[in-house]
């Protein structure tokens, strides 16, 4: 006799908003969670690149939702519109992010805010909006902030990036407690260096020996986009139903050295 | 920005004493010119001249003359 089995890793019937879905880690997450059955709302600023993401998704019911997250006050009405059009949201993954390598002496108020607005402020307002009864799925949900190992360890000249990511850890802990009564979980993922177009841009400013050094810093080598996508899918699924307020480090051993 | 304005502005940004950077000097002879200074210089050039320099370009130059030559025709 076959025992009935319900796969706790399945995302069938889950509607999930993914920010930064037009490239890199966000796109990889959108693609992988669609393969697990999620209906994905893909956010980004570039319509053409969002379309490319949509073309790579499995299953149906996916949508491109072009929106500039710098406009934090407009996040709630925008998500309200999405939930009216497509149905309520089970989850949200904030993968949009800005990396900034800049010595402290060069950081102006504008440069500071440029990073902080997208990485941190938008994370808060996206989570706040998702918690609204007219937007969230009444059965519960899961919020995942893509943070960085630079929230735990750091290096010179990334102060704005490091602080913007470290803040997500505090944010997720407080929201985890506040949203728990509605069965909404809130977690962070902290990847080390991942092969993305963003990383390619970054290392252009480095010398060849700096690039070699970086590879050596990861006992398992530099990460792939899927490595973050798998961890994200886990935190979105019921397999992680007793996990909230945590920071899942996905770093190929970077922080153990 | 004029070429002659770059040195005083950089020295100020990096917290160097005036005269630390001399256009004719070898970069290796200025111990204050470290990896942070290089990153600052890249950000400075991006800000003021809308030009993105690459790490390898900067690693190859020996003197400040050659370094500022990378900005080329972007000077006023």
* CA pair distance A199, A242, nearest whole angstrom: 33
Residue A110: is its pLDDT beyond 70?
yes
Q: Residue B76 carries which DSSP code? A: -
Region B47-75: what's the mean pLDDT?
Answer: 91
Q: Which residue has the higher pLDDT, A213 or A235?
A: A235
Whole-prediction pTM: 0.91
Tokens representing residue B45 in the block: 């050039």
Contact present, A50 and A28 (Cβ < 8 Å): no
Residue-level pLDDT at A130? 98
The ipTM estimated for the assembled molecules is: 0.73
A106:B36 CB<8 A: no
Question: Is there a contact between A154 and A111 (Cβ–Cβ < 8 Å)?
Answer: no
For A223, list phi and psi in degrees, rounded to 5: -75, 165
Q: Is A254 known to be catalytic?
A: no
Q: Supply the DSSP string of A187-217, one letter for each residue.
A: EEEEE--B-SHHHHHHHTTS-HHHHHHHHHT
Looking at residue A237, its pLDDT comes to 98
**Residues B1, B49: Cα–Cα separation, whole Å:** 8
Q: A200 pLDDT band (50/70/90 cuts)?
A: confident
Please give the pLDDT value at position A105. 85
Q: Taking CB atoms and an 8 Å cutoff, what residues of chain B touch A157? A: 36, 39
For A167-183, how does the pLDDT look when each residue is reduced to its tens digit (9 = 90+)? 999 999 999 999 999 99
Residue B42, CA atoms < 13 Å, CB-side half-sphere: 24
Choosing among 3.20.10.10, 1.10.1200.10, 3.40.50.2000, 3.40.50.11260, the CATH entry for B3-74 is 1.10.1200.10
Alpha-carbon dihedral sign for residues B9, B14, B15, B16? negative
Probe site for chain B from A155, A205, A212 (most B CB atoms < 10 A): A205
Quick check: A204 and B40 CB within 8 A? no
Instruction: Specify the range with the lowest mean pLDDT, choosing from A2-6, A48-52, A81-85, B42-46.
Output: A2-6
CATH architecture group of domain A15-194+224-249:
3-Layer(aba) Sandwich (3.40)
> What pLDDT is recorded for position B27?
95
pLDDT, position A38: 98
User: Closest by alpha carbon to A67, among A52, A47, A87?
Assistant: A47
Please report the pLDDT score of residue A5 as a whole number.
Answer: 84
What average pLDDT does the structure give for chain A?
Answer: 95
User: What is the rounded average pLDDT of the residues A227-236?
Assistant: 98
| Phi, psi angle pair for A161, to nearest 5° | -65, -50
Q: Among partner residues B14, B15, B42, which is closest to A205 by beta-carbon distance?
A: B42
The answer, yes or no, to whether residue B39 has pLDDT greater than 90, is: no
DSSP secondary structure, A112-158, as one string: HHHHHIIIIIHHHHHHHHHHSTTTB-TT-EEEEEE--GGGTS--TT-
Is the predicted pLDDT of residue A185 greater than 70, yes or no?
A: yes
Domain edges within chain A: 15-194+224-249
Give the helix/strand (H/E) hosting A94. strand A91-94
- Supply the pLDDT for residue A2: 61
Instruction: Over range A34-38, report the average pLDDT.
Output: 98
* Percent of chain A predicted with pLDDT > 70: 99
Of A98-102, A118-122, A158-162, A163-167, minimum mean pLDDT range: A98-102
Judge: A205–B44 Cβ closer than 8 Å, yes or no.
Answer: no
User: What's the start-to-end Cα distance of chain B, in Å?
Assistant: 5
Residue-level pLDDT at B54: 87
- Per-residue model confidence as pLDDT tens digits over A117-142: 999 999 999 999 999 999 999 999 99
Q: Taking each helix axis as running N to C, give the angle between helix A159-179 and helix A109-116, from 0 to 180 degrees, rounded to the nearest 10.
A: 40
pLDDT of residue A244: 98
A87 versus A156: the higher-pLDDT residue is: A87
pLDDT for the residue numbered A121: 98
Task: Tell me how many degrees the CA angle A193-A199-A203 measures, rounded to the nearest 5.
Answer: 105
CA distance A67 to A55: 19
Token digits of residue A238: 């019921």
Query: Distance (Å, rounded) from C-alpha A29 to C-alpha A229?
Result: 4
A206/B contact by beta carbon, under 8 A: yes
């Amino acid at each position: 006799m076959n025992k009935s089995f319900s796969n706790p890793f399945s995302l069938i019937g889950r509607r999930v908003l993914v920010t930064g879905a037009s490239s890199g880690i966000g796109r990889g997450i959108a693609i992988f969670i669609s393969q697990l059955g999620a209906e994905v709302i893909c956010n980004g600023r570039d319509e053409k690149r969002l379309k490319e993401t949509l073309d790579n998704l499995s299953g149906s019911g996916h949508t491109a939702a072009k929106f500039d997250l710098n406009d934090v006050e407009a996040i709630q009405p925008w998500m309200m519109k999405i939930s009216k059009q497509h149905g309520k949201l089970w989850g949200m993954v904030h993968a949009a992010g800005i990396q900034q390598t800049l010595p402290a002496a060069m950081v102006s108020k504008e440069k500071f805010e440029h990073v902080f607005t997208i990485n941190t402020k938008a994370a808060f307002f996206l989570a706040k909006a998702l918690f609204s009864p007219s937007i969230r799925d009444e059965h519960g949900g899961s919020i995942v902030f893509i943070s960085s190992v630079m929230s735990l360890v750091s290096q010179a000249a990334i102060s704005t990036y490091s602080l913007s990511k470290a803040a997500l850890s505090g944010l997720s802990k407080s929201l985890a407690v506040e949203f728990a009564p509605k069965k909404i979980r809130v977690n962070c993922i902290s990847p080390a260096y991942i092969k993305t177009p963003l990383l390619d841009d970054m290392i252009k400013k480095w010398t060849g020996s700096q690039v070699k050094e970086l590879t050596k810093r990861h006992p398992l080598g530099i990460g792939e986009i899927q490595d973050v996508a798998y961890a994200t899918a886990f935190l979105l699924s019921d397999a992680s139903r007793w996990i909230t307020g945590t920071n899942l480090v996905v770093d190929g051993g970077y922080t153990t050295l | 920005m004029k070429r002659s304005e770059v040195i005083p502005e950089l020295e100020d940004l990096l917290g160097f004493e005036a005269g630390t950077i001399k256009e004719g000097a070898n970069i290796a002879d200025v111990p204050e010119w470290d990896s942070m200074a290089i990153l600052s210089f890249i950000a400075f050039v991006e800000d003021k001249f809308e030009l993105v320099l690459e790490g390898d370009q900067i690693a190859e130059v020996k003197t400040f003359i050659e370094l500022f030559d990378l900005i080329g025709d972007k000077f006023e």
